Amino acid sequence: MTIVSLNFLVFLGGALACFHLLPHRWRPGFVFPATCLVFLVLVSPSPSGAAALLVYFALLWMLLELAIRSRGRPTLIGALAVVLLGFGWLKGYEFLSFLPLSAAVPATIGLAYILIRSIQLLVDTMESPPARINPVTVFNFLMAWPCLVSGPIQRYDDFERQLAAMPSFRLGRDVILRAMERIIRGYFFVCVVGDATRGLWLGLKDIAFAGAHPLALGASQAAFLFHLFFDFAGYTEIVIGVGYLFGLALPENFNRPFRARSFLDFWNRWHMTMSGFFKTYVFNPAAMALTRIAPSPAWTVVCATAAFFATFFLVGLWHGTTWAFVICGLLLGLGASVNHAYTTRLRVALGRQRHDRLTSHLLYVAPATAFAFTYLCLSVTPLWMTAEELSATLGRYGASGLLLAEAVLFLVMLLAIPWWLKQEAGGPRPQWLACILMGAQLAAIQLYLFLFPATGGLFFYEQF
Amino acid sequence: MKPFALITLSWFACMAAALAVCVAVFGRPEARLPVEVLKLPRTSFRDEALRAIFDSRNLAKAGKPLLLILGASATQEGYPPSALQPLLPDFSVNNLAIGAANVTEMDQALDLALKSARPAGLQGSELVLGLSYPVFVRDGRRWTHPDIVGADMVRRGEVVSDIVKEATRCPPLLDPGNPVFRLTPAPLSEWARGTLAALLPLLSHLTVHPADPVLAWPHWRHHPLVPVAAVAPAPPPPPPESHVDARKQMDWLTDYMGEEGHRLPEEQFAVLRRLVGKARRAGMRVTAVNLPLPSWHQTDSPYHAAYWTALQHTLRELSADPGVRLIDLSSSAPDTWFRDSSHPAKEAVQDWSAALARSISQPW
C-alpha cells in the first residue's frame, strides 16, 4: 500500500471513522495505536517485517525502562549502542553482516525514522527522566502511522501533549479545510509535478548512461533534485494534512529550500526535522566534546568544522547501507565543513559590515548560490546511482567530463538564480482563493493522470 | 459561498473548460474508434486497449443480439465489423480484439463488455474467441517482454496488461479489476466513460510522458565543447522494411512463448475456462475459433500441436454445455491468404470474414 493508492484512501476513511465515531476517550489508548498497528501490517513488505519492527519496539521499551531506572551515562551509552546495533542489523549494513541471522533479516519500512525517534526518546528521557513512561504512548510515538514511512520527525514532548489532547479534539470545518488544502497540494506535487520531473530525470539519466554526454549528466542531477523535492514535499504535505484530521500538528519539513543562499542554509530549509535532530543530538554534543578536548579559541573553528563533517557524514550513512551512501556522506560532510570554515574565515577577514555588504550583493550571491546548488546536486548523486553506476560513470566521463557536466550545471544555475531570487515569496492566501486553487489542483490531478497514466514507482524516500 | 461548494465548483469549472477546449480544438471523438490495421513493428497497443475500454460502452446501444469478437491481432485484422456485418445481419458485430493480447486480456475485455451491455441484450448474443498458440503466453512473459512492452513498464517490472495500464488513466471507472468499477451502476459507468472519451482525440497529439519533448532535444548528446556546425547531421533513419520475413517472425513467436520443452502452461487455459463460464452465466453462447495459420507454420512451430491438443481437451471438458463449441478454421485459409506468419493479407480479409461467418451460421 502506498500513500498515493486507493487502498490508502480506504484505510484513511476507516481510520477517520473509527477515530471520530468511537468514544473519544478511547482515542489515545486504543483507537490510535490500533490504527498504527493496522497501518504497519498494511505497509510492511512482509508480515515478518512488521513483526521485526514490533520486536524492535519491545527492545526499545525495555531499554527505556532500564534508562529511567539506572539514570547513568554508561546506561545511556549502552542503550544507544544496542539501539544502533539493532538498527544496523535490521537495515542490513554490510559491515554488520557477521552478526547472526544477518542474511535472514526481513525487509522493513520506516526503520530509519523509528531510529531517530528512539534516540531522541532515550536521550531526552535520560536528561529529564519522568516518574514512569506509558508504553502505549511510546508505541504511538514510535509507530505513529501518519509519519511512519518517512517522517516528519516530531519531538516526543510535543507528541505526548497532542496525544493527551486527542479526546477533546473536535473536527471542525476549518480543520477539514486546512487538511484538504495540504492533502490536495500534496497529491498535486506527487502525482503531477513529481511524476513529470521523475520522467525527465530518468530519461536524462538513460541518456547520460548511454555515453559520455555531459549536458545530460548535469541536467539529470538538477532534474533529480527537483523531482526529489516535489516527491518528498508532496508526501509531507499529505501527511501533515492527514495529521490535522487526527488532532496532530506535525512539524514542517521544508521552508522554501530553493531560496537557500548556501549549502548549510539549504539543509536548514530541507528535511528540517531530520536536520534538527542531527543538529541537536549529533552536532551539538560532538562540537561540545571537541571543544572540551581543544578549548583554545584558535581551535573553535576547527572543532566546529570537524563536527559538521561528522554530522553530515552520518546523514549520508543514515540514508542507506551501501558504499554509495558512504560516498554520499563524505561529499555531504566535505560540503558542510568547507562551507562553515569558509563562511567563518570570510567573516573574520572582512569584518561584519563588509561581510554583510558582500553577501547581499547579487554579483556575489548568484555565483555563490549557483556553486552551492551545483555541489549539492553532485553530493546527492549517490542517492540515485549505485556504487557500480558511480564507478562506471567515473570511468566513462573521466575527470574532465565530470567537471564539464558540473560546469554546465553551474552556468545554468548562474543564469537562473538572479531571476529566481527576484521572485517574491507568496504570502498567505484568502480562503476563497485557496478553495479555487484546491478545485483547480484536483482537476489538474485528474487530467494529468488521464493524459499521462501513472508511470511512477514508489515514493522515493520510502526506500530509506 | 461555502468553501466546499467553491472547491467543487472550481473543480467542475476546470474540468468542463478542459473538455470544452479539447472538443473545440480536436473535435468530438469518433462514436466508434477504428479497428486499425496493424503497422509493424510496434511496441504500443495503447489505441486498441483504449478502444476496448471506451468502445465497449456502445454495446448498450445495440438493438440486436451482439456478436462480440475477442482475440489478438490476427482476429483484429481478419474480422473487421465492416466485412462481417453484411454477412451476419442478425447480429450487431463488435470487434474488441487487441494486438498481442493473451487470454487474460481477452478476459478483461469481456468484463468491460459485460459491464456495458444490457443483460437482456446478451440473451441470444454470441462471443467469438479468436485463438492460436501465441494468445496462451503466460502473463509474466507477455507483460514484461521488452520487445512489446514500453521501457517504463519493463523498468517498473509490473505485470499489467495494456487494458489495465490504460485503465490507470482513471482506475476506479475504467479498470475492470477495480472494486469501484464493479460496484458502479452500468449507466453511471457509461456516462463517465463517455465524458472522459472527449479527451481521447488529445492523446494522439501528446507524447507518452510530458518530459518526452524535452528529452527529444537532440543536443543532450552533443558535447558542449564541440561547435554545433562541426557536427555532421545524423543520417536519416532507413525506411522500415515493407517485406516481413515470415519465418523469422515465427522464430520470434517461438522465443516469445519462452516455455521450457515448448509445453504450454496451464495458466491461460484456466483463464479461458473462467472466461467461458462468465460469458455463459451472462447468457452468451461461446464459439472458440482455432484461427487460420499457414500450413508451414502449423507444421514447423514447436507450439502449435501442443496448443491444439490442449485446446481440444479444454473445450471437450466444457462441451457438456450446449452453448459452447469449437470451430477449427486452421486449414480454411490457403497460404496465399496470409501476408506473414499469421496475419491476413489485405485482399484476403473478406475471405477470412466469409469463412468465419459461414461457420458461425451453422446450427448449434
Q: Are strands B92-95 and B66-70 parallel, antiparallel or unpaired?
A: parallel
Residue owning grid cell 521485526: A52
Which residue in the set A197, A215, A432 is minimally distant from B222, CB to CB? A215
By the 8 A CB rule, do B28 and B21 touch?
Answer: no
Question: What is the Cβ-side half-sphere exposure of residue B51, based on CA atoms within 13 angstroms?
Answer: 19
Which residue in the set A177, A219, A440 is minimally distant from B3, CB to CB? A177
Whole-angstrom Cα distance, residue A142 to residue A36? 10
pLDDT at site A352: 87
Peptide bond into B41 cis (omega under 30): yes
> What is the three-state SS of A395-454?
HHHHHHHHHHHHHHHHHHHHHHHHHHHHCCCCCCCCHHHHHHHHHHHHHHHHHHHHHCCC
Can you tell me the mean pLDDT for A68-91? Answer: 84
Choose from B149-153, B310-314, B332-336 the range with maximum mean pLDDT. B310-314
CA angle B94, B95, B99 (to 5 degrees): 165
- Look at residues A349, A354, A280, A275 and name the one whose alpha carbon lies nearest to residue A315: A275
Q: Are strands B324-328 and B285-290 parallel, antiparallel or unpaired?
A: parallel
> Each residue of A162-175: pLDDT tens digit?
999 999 999 999 99
Categorize the per-residue pLDDT at A292 as very low, low, confident or very high, splitting at 50, 70 and 90: confident
Whole-angstrom Cα distance, residue A262 to residue A338? 11
pLDDT at site B224: 77
The answer to whether the Cβ–Cβ distance between A173 and B223 falls below 8 Å is no
Categorize the per-residue pLDDT at B32 as very low, low, confident or very high, splitting at 50, 70 and 90: low
Whole-angstrom Cα distance, residue A126 to residue A140? 20
Q: Tell me: pLDDT of A128 over 90.
A: no
Categorize the per-residue pLDDT at A131 as very low, low, confident or very high, splitting at 50, 70 and 90: low
Q: Tell me: pLDDT of B297 over 90.
A: yes
Can you tell me the mean pLDDT for A178-189? Answer: 95
Can you tell me the mean pLDDT for A346-357? Answer: 89
Question: What is the Cβ-side half-sphere exposure of residue B115, based on CA atoms within 13 angstroms?
Answer: 33
pLDDT at site B40: 41
Question: Which three cell numbers, joined as nine digits, stand for A272?
Answer: 528540517
> Each residue of B148-161: pLDDT tens digit?
887 777 766 778 89
Whole-angstrom Cα distance, residue A310 to residue A287? 10
Q: Which residues contact B34 (CB under 8 A, 6 or more apart)?
A: B51
Question: What is the Cβ-side half-sphere exposure of residue A279, based on CA atoms within 13 angstroms?
Answer: 10
Categorize the per-residue pLDDT at B7 as very low, low, confident or very high, splitting at 50, 70 and 90: very high
Which residue in the set A177, A180, A455 is minimally distant from B152, CB to CB? A455
Categorize the per-residue pLDDT at A185 as very low, low, confident or very high, splitting at 50, 70 and 90: very high
Higher-pLDDT residue of A276 and B364 is A276
Q: Which residues of B touch A202 (CB under 8 A)?
A: 155
pLDDT at site B39: 44
> Each residue of A375-418: pLDDT tens digit?
999 999 988 988 889 899 999 999 999 999 999 999 999 998 88
- Look at residues A421, A403, A449, A420 and name the one whose alpha carbon lies nearest to residue A212: A403
Question: Which three cell numbers, joined as nine digits, stand for A307?
Answer: 563536527
pLDDT at site A437: 94
Whole-angstrom Cα distance, residue A227 to residue A65? 42
Q: Tell me: pLDDT of A457 over 80.
A: no
Of the listed ranges A55-59, A80-84, A145-149, B117-121, the least confidently predicted one is: B117-121
Nearest residue of A to residue B221 by CA position?
A213
Side chain identity, residue B150: G
Starting at the earlier edge strand, list the strands of the sheet with B92-95: B92-95, B66-70, B126-131, B285-290, B324-328
| DSSP bridge pairs for B126 | B67, B285
Whole-angstrom Cα distance, residue A121 to residue B214? 48
| DSSP bridge pairs for A65 | none
Interface TM-score (ipTM) > 0.85: no
Q: Which residues of A touch B166 (CB under 8 A)?
A: 453
Collapsing DSSP states into helix, strand and coil, what is residue A385? coil
Of the listed ranges A93-97, B62-66, B279-283, the least confidently predicted one is: A93-97
By the 8 A CB rule, do A262 and A286 touch?
Answer: no
Q: Give yes or no for B214 touching A (CB within 8 A).
A: yes
pLDDT at site B232: 59
Q: Tell me: pLDDT of A274 over 80.
A: yes
The alpha carbon torsion through A92, A98, A102, A108 (nearest 10 deg) reads -20
The answer to whether the Cβ–Cβ distance between A203 and B178 falls below 8 Å is no
pLDDT at site B138: 94
Q: Tell me: pLDDT of B37 over 70.
A: no
- DSSP letters spanning B315-344: HHHHTTSTTEEEEE-TTSS-GGGBSSSSSB
Categorize the per-residue pLDDT at A321 as very low, low, confident or very high, splitting at 50, 70 and 90: confident
By the 8 A CB rule, do A143 and A57 touch?
Answer: yes
Categorize the per-residue pLDDT at B260 as very low, low, confident or very high, splitting at 50, 70 and 90: confident
Of the listed ranges A31-35, A394-398, A458-462, the least confidently predicted one is: A458-462
How high does pLDDT run on average in chain A? Answer: 88
Q: Give yes or no for B196 touching A (CB within 8 A).
A: yes
Peptide bond into A152 cis (omega under 30): yes
Q: Tell me: pLDDT of B231 over 60.
A: no
Higher-pLDDT residue of A297 and A79 is A79
pLDDT at site A375: 94
The answer to whether the Cβ–Cβ distance between B168 and A449 falls below 8 Å is yes
pLDDT at site B234: 62
The answer to whether the Cβ–Cβ distance between A180 and B7 falls below 8 Å is yes
pLDDT at site B13: 95
Q: Tell me: pLDDT of A72 over 90.
A: no
> What is the three-state SS of chain B?
CCHHHHHHHHHHHHHHHHHHHHHHHHCCCCCCCCCCCCCCCCCCCHHHHHHHHHHHHHHHHCCCCEEEEECCHHHHHHCCHHHHHHHCCCCEEEECCCCCCCHHHHHHHHHHHHHHCCHHHHCCCEEEEEECHHHHCCHHHHCCCCCCCCHHHHHHCCCCCHHHHHHCCCHHHHCCCCHHHHHCCHHHHHHHHHHHHHHHHHHCCCCCCCCHHHHCCHHHHCCCCCCHHHCCCCCCCCCCCCCCCHHHHHHHHHHHHCCHHHCCCCHHHHHHHHHHHHHHHCCCEEEEEECCCCHHHHHHCCCHHHHHHHHHHHHHHHCCCCCEEEEECCCCCCHHHECCCCCECHHHHHHHHHHHHHHHHCCC
pLDDT at site B229: 60
Query: What is the sign, positive or negative, of the torsion defined by CA atoms of A107, A113, A117, A122?
Result: positive
Can you tell me the mean pLDDT for A73-85? Answer: 86
Q: Give yes or no for B16 touching A (CB within 8 A).
A: no
Can you tell me the mean pLDDT for B175-187? Answer: 84
CA A377 → CA A207, A370, B49, distances in Å? 18, 11, 40
Q: Tell me: pLDDT of B166 over 90.
A: no
The answer to whether the Cβ–Cβ distance between B11 and A442 falls below 8 Å is yes
How many cross-chain Cβ pairs, A to B, lie less than 8 Å apart?
116
By the 8 A CB rule, do A448 and A191 touch?
Answer: yes
Residues shown for chain A: 464
Tell me, rounded to whole angstroms, the distance of Cα A59 from its chain centroid. 25
Categorize the per-residue pLDDT at B31 as very low, low, confident or very high, splitting at 50, 70 and 90: low
Question: Which three cell numbers, joined as nine digits, stand for B153?
Answer: 513498464
